[in-house]
Amino acid sequence: MPNISRAEVAHLAKLARLAVTDEELDVFAGQLDQILDSVAKVGEVASEDVPPTSHAVPLTNVFREDVERPGLTQQQALAGAPSAEEGRFRVPRILGEEQ
Amino acid sequence: MTAVADLMDYAEVIERYDPVLGLEVHVELNTNTKMFCGCPNVFGGEPNTHVCPTCLGLPGALPVLNGKGVESAIRIGLALNCEIARWCRFARKNYFYPDMPKNFQTSQYDEPIAFDGYLDVTLDDGEVVRVEIERAHMEEDTGKSLHVGGATGRIHGADYSLLDYNRAGVPLIEIVTKPIVGTGERAPEVARAYVNTLRDLLRALDVSDVRMDQGSLRCDANVSLMARGATEFGTRTETKNVNSLRSVERAVRYEMTRQGAVLAGGGTVTQETRHFQESDGTTSAGRTKETAEDYRYFPEPDLVPIAPSREWVDELRKTMPEKPADRRKRIQTEWNLTPEELRDLFNSGAVDLVEATVAAGAKPGEARGWWVNFLAQEANSRDVELTTLPITPAQVARVTELVASGELTNKLAREVVKGVLAGEGEPDDVVETRGLKVVSDDSALLAAVDEALAAQPDVADKIRGGKVQAAGAIVGAVMKATKGQADAKRVRELIIERVGA
Amino acid sequence: MTELTRLTAAELAEKIHRREVSSVEVTQAHLDRIAQVDDLVHAFLHVDAEGALAAAKAVDEAPEPVSPLAGVPLALKDVLTTKGIPTTCGSRTLEGWIPPYDATVTRKLREAGVPILGKTNMDEFAMGSSTENSAFGPTHNPWDHARIPGGSGGGSSASVAAFEAPLAIGTDTGGSIRQPGAVTGTVGVKPTYGGVSRYGLVAFSSSLDQAGPCARTVLDAALLHEVVAGHDPMDSTSIDAPVPPVVAAAREGLRGDLAGVKVGVVTEFSGEGYQGGVLRSFEGAVAQLRELGAEVVEVSCPSFVYALPAYYLIAPSECSSNLARFDAMRYGLRVADDGEHSAEEVMSLTREAGFGPEVKRRIMLGTYALSSGYYDAYYGSAQKVRTLITRDFDTAFEKVDVLVSPTTPTTAFKIGERVDDPMAMYLSDICSIPANLAGNAAMSVPSGLSDEDGLPVGLQIMAPALADDRLYRVGAAYELARGDILGRLPELKGALA
Ligand SMILES: [Mg+2]
Ligand SMILES: [Zn+2]
pLDDT digit string, tens, across residues B331-367: 999 999 998 888 888 888 888 899 999 999 999 999 9
C47: three-class secondary structure by DSSP: strand
Exposed / middle / buried, residue A51 (Cβ in 10 Å: 0-12, 13-18, 19+): exposed
Which residues on B lie below 8 Å from C198 (Cβ)?
62
Inter-chain residue contact B96 with C324, CB threshold 8 Å: yes
Ligand index nearest the alpha carbon of residue A72: 2
**Pairing verdict, β B272-276 and B298-299:** unpaired
Inter-chain residue contact B103 with C325, CB threshold 8 Å: yes
What residues contact residue B143 under an 8 Å CB cut-off, 6+ apart?
A: B99, B100, B101, B163, B164, B165, B166, B167, B168
What residues contact residue A90 under an 8 Å CB cut-off, 6+ apart?
A: A81, A83, A84, B160, B161, B162, B163
Q: How far is the CA of B106 from the centre of ligand 1 (A)?
A: 9
Q: What is the pLDDT of residue C2?
A: 53
The pLDDT-based confidence of C185 (bands split at 50, 70, 90) is very high
Q: What percent of chain C has pLDDT over 90?
A: 95
Q: How do residues B404-463 score in pLDDT, each as one tens digit?
A: 887 888 888 999 999 999 999 999 999 888 887 776 667 778 888 888 888 888 888 888
Domain positions in chain C are 3-304+387-493
Q: How do residues B203-241 score in pLDDT, each as one tens digit?
A: 989 999 999 989 999 999 999 999 998 999 999 999 998
Which residues on A lie below 8 Å from B305 (Cβ)?
55, 59-61
Q: How many CA atoms lie within 13 A of B103 on its CB side?
A: 25
Q: What sections of B30-106 are H helices per DSSP?
A: 67-79
CATH number of the domain located at residue range(s) C3-304+387-493 in this protein? 3.90.1300.10
For residue B160, list its beta bridge partners. Answer: A92, B148
Q: How far is the CA of B61 from the centre of ligand 2 (A)?
A: 10
d(CA B366, CA B357) in angstroms, rounded, equals: 9
d(CA C185, CA C150) in angstroms, rounded, equals: 11
Which residues on C lie below 8 Å from A56 (Cβ)?
193-194, 207-208, 237, 386, 436-439, 465
Closest by Cβ to A92, choosing from C237, C309, C342: C342
Examine the residue annotation and report whether C83 is marked as an active-site residue of this protein. no
For residue C213, list its beta bridge partners. Answer: C169
Sheet holding A84-85, edge to edge: A84-85, A88-92, B160-164, B144-148
Q: What is the pLDDT of residue B151?
A: 62
**Pairing verdict, β C456-463 and C187-190:** unpaired
Q: How do residues C426-447 score in pLDDT, each as one tens digit?
A: 999 999 999 999 999 999 999 9
> Does the CB of A66 have a partner CB in chain B at under 8 Å?
yes
Give the rounded distance of the alpha carbon of C415 from its chain centre: 19
Sheet holding B17-28, edge to edge: B83-84, B114-122, B128-140, B171-177, B17-28, B217-227, B237-242, B272-276, B283-288
C73: three-class secondary structure by DSSP: coil
**Pairing verdict, β C116-120 and C167-171:** unpaired
Q: Crossing angle, helix C468-482 and helix C218-228, to 10 degrees? A: 160
ipTM of predicted assembly, 2 dp: 0.97
Of B156 and B80, the one with more pLDDT: B80
Q: Give the distance from residue A77's alpha carbon to the nearest chain C alpha carbon, in angstroms.
A: 8
Q: What is the pLDDT of residue B152?
A: 57
The pLDDT-based confidence of C497 (bands split at 50, 70, 90) is very low
Domains for chain A: give ranges and CATH numbers: 6-43 (1.10.20)
> Does the CB of B303 have a partner CB in chain C at under 8 Å?
yes
d(CA B114, CA C4) in angstroms, rounded, equals: 62
**Pairing verdict, β C295-299 and C262-266:** parallel
Examine the residue annotation and report whether C77 is marked as an active-site residue of this protein. yes
Which residues on C lie below 8 Å from A67 (Cβ)?
none
Q: Give the distance from residue B304's alpha carbon to the nearest chain C alpha carbon, in angstroms.
A: 7
| C-alpha dihedral, B49 to B52 to B57 to B61, nearest 10° | 170
Please provide the DSSP assignment of B347-413 as one string: HTT-HHHHHHHHHTT--HHHHHIIIIIIIHHHHHHHTS-GGGSS--HHHHHHHHHHHHTTSS-HHHH
d(CA C310, CA B197) in angstroms, rounded, equals: 49
Inter-chain residue contact A32 with C378, CB threshold 8 Å: no
Q: How do residues B313-327 score in pLDDT, each as one tens digit?
A: 999 999 999 887 888
Chains interfacing with C (3 or more CB pairs < 8 Å): A, B
Q: For the domain made up of B442-499, give the CATH fold.
A: Arc Repressor Mutant, subunit A (1.10.10)
C215: three-class secondary structure by DSSP: strand
What are the angstrom distances between the C-alpha of C270 and each of B336, C262, C305, C316, C329?
87, 20, 11, 26, 48
Active-site position among C67, C157, C159, C176: C176
> Does the CB of B285 have a partner CB in chain A at under 8 Å?
no
Mutate to test the interface with B, among C210, C325, C351, C372 (most CBs of B within 10 A): C325
Domain positions in chain B are 10-312, 322-434, 442-499
Q: How far is the CA of B107 from the centre of ligand 1 (A)?
A: 7
At B273, which amino acid appears?
Answer: T
Q: What is the pLDDT of residue B1?
A: 42
Which residues on A lie below 8 Å from B160 (Cβ)?
90-93
The whole-number average pLDDT for the span C56-64 is 97
Chains interfacing with A (3 or more CB pairs < 8 Å): B, C
DSSP state of C213: E
